[in-house]
Amino acid sequence: MGPAQQILENLSAQRKRRWAVKMAVAETSDRLSAFLSSGIYRLESCNAVFIDPVRVLNRSYSRFRVSPSMYYSRFFDSKHEDQESRFSSNSRKRKRKEKQPHALNERERSADERHQEARPLLLKAHESLLEATDLLSVICNLRNDVCSLTESEESLPIVEQSFVELGRVWQAPLYEIILHFHQHCNPSGDGSSPLIRYKEERVIPIFNNLVVNETSDNVEAEFLNSRYVIPRESCFYMSDLRQIHNLIPAESDCGFSLIVVDPPWENKSASQKLVYSTLPNRYFLSLPIKKLTHTEGALIALWVTNREKLRGFVEKELFPAWGVSYAATFYWLKVKSDGSLISDLDLFHHRPYECLLLGYCHGEGMDSEYQSRLKPLQDNQVIISIPGDYSRKPPIGELLMEYVPELKPARCIELFAREMQAGWISWGNEPLHFQELRYFRGTREKG
């Protein structure tokens, strides 16, 4: 090869490298742009995504936006981080005084084996997040994300409604919720915002009743001294476990193709924090998952903690009782605003992740040929996000939709829900918990 040819080869190699760098930058820019609109960022070289629940949830609303400062109430706050560091410091002090760790019992060994299997993929997912510097620069500002709308009703007094307690009293059937349906009046031409005029008001029972917003716009609701926001094309049924049979469709072809379940598992921590009421495991055996399932089958997504006793219960008793065949495990990895894990990955009783167990409940029309057309569930996927309020799970519906049986549009329901999403039915004893107006920012203009 002559000198001139060598020079040409070098120039060609340099152009290829520059082109590769340019394409990589463009691809990264495209992913970030997609994240800013969708709230979902697919990380490179691993089976993981980062999601911003606020952006995902906001796709359910038009006139309102979920407030980032209200959603991210924990892992952005410097006071919280100081408390965390003090907790860690105190833990280290206690550890010095403690005796040597005892030998693990059988359940603890099984739990540790599960952890060791998940550990490499969780580490890889976390490393990929830390390498996504463009994403990290956005994550650190998620809580301060500026919306064009102003904070709604900042002056409203905070009134905590205990739906659980209200639903237990004898007056429960008498409680009513007021739904305000509105229409926009055209502006006068001076550039002002459209005025809102209510055209319909419905007063209906709030407990043991299907409350529906069938419109393509958000609906404001009033109950006692609080206001709430109902997403478009959504509904809720607020009751205890004894009334869930009222959601069973008369015909299976009106059933659900995606069922997300977030049970209030017995948990000492939850009891101590008095966040929500828990139930013994045996109560969940009575959930009519099979009867809720569409004739073409349903994808079941069950949130579980890392307790080995609970995992054994799900595998040996709960899924069989529901008629669900296990398919895959996803992991929800929790990080802080700087991308670091909320706790040490190997901290035995406080792992920085939770599990989502996935399986299929086969419907009457789900034969072997039909099952072969389903997209195979890819095991060990990792969902990374900054946690919101205590026990508030990230919205995962969109991530699961590609694995849902072919029914279009998918019919979706969340059991033990504490918030709502557009196009979903939310059932539980407090599905309006995070729908209170103070969790949103927006404008309310009256005409």
pTM: 0.84
The helix/strand/coil state of 437 is helix
Q: How many domains does the chain have?
A: 1
Q: Is residue 29 part of a domain?
A: no
pLDDT tens digits, one per residue of 234-273: 999 999 999 999 999 988 788 999 999 999 998 766 545 5
Of the ranges 30-44, 95-109, 146-160, 350-364, which one carries the lowest mean pLDDT score?
A: 146-160
Of the ranges 64-68, 87-91, 335-339, which one carries the lowest mean pLDDT score?
A: 87-91
- 53 against 103, higher pLDDT: 53
pLDDT of residue 189: 55
pLDDT band, residue 406 (cuts 50/70/90): confident
Q: Is residue 105 part of a domain?
A: no
pLDDT of residue 365: 63
Query: Using a CB cutoff of 8 Å and minimum separation of 24, what contacts does 180-188 make?
Result: 180/219, 180/220, 180/221, 180/222, 181/215, 181/219, 182/217, 182/220, 185/447
Q: Is residue 384 part of a domain?
A: yes
Q: Is residue 34 part of a domain?
A: no
46 Cβ neighbours under 8 A, 6+ residues apart: 121, 124, 125, 127, 128, 382
Q: Is residue 404 part of a domain?
A: yes
pLDDT of residue 147: 46
* pLDDT score of 196 more than 70: no
Which structural domain range is residue 366 located in? Answer: 234-433
- Average pLDDT of the chain to the nearest whole number: 83
**Highest averaged pLDDT of the listed ranges 143-152, 160-169, 242-251:** 242-251
Q: Is residue 108 part of a domain?
A: no
Phi/psi at 85 (5° precision): -65, -35
**For residue 395, is the peptide bond before it cis, meaning its omega torsion is within 30 degrees of 0?**
no
Q: How far apart are CA 133 and CA 122, in angstroms?
A: 18
Q: How far apart are CA 438 and CA 447, in angstroms?
A: 23
* pLDDT score of 177 more than 90: yes
Strand ranges for 163-286 from DSSP E: 176-185, 195-205, 210-213, 219-223, 226-230, 234-238, 258-261
357 Cβ neighbours under 8 A, 6+ residues apart: 301, 302, 304, 314, 319, 326, 329
| CATH number, residue 255 | 3.40.50.150
Percent of the chain with pLDDT over 70: 75
Q: Is residue 333 part of a domain?
A: yes
pLDDT band, residue 16 (cuts 50/70/90): low
Q: Which residues pair with 424 in a beta bridge?
A: 412
How far does Cα 10 stand from its chain's mean position?
A: 51
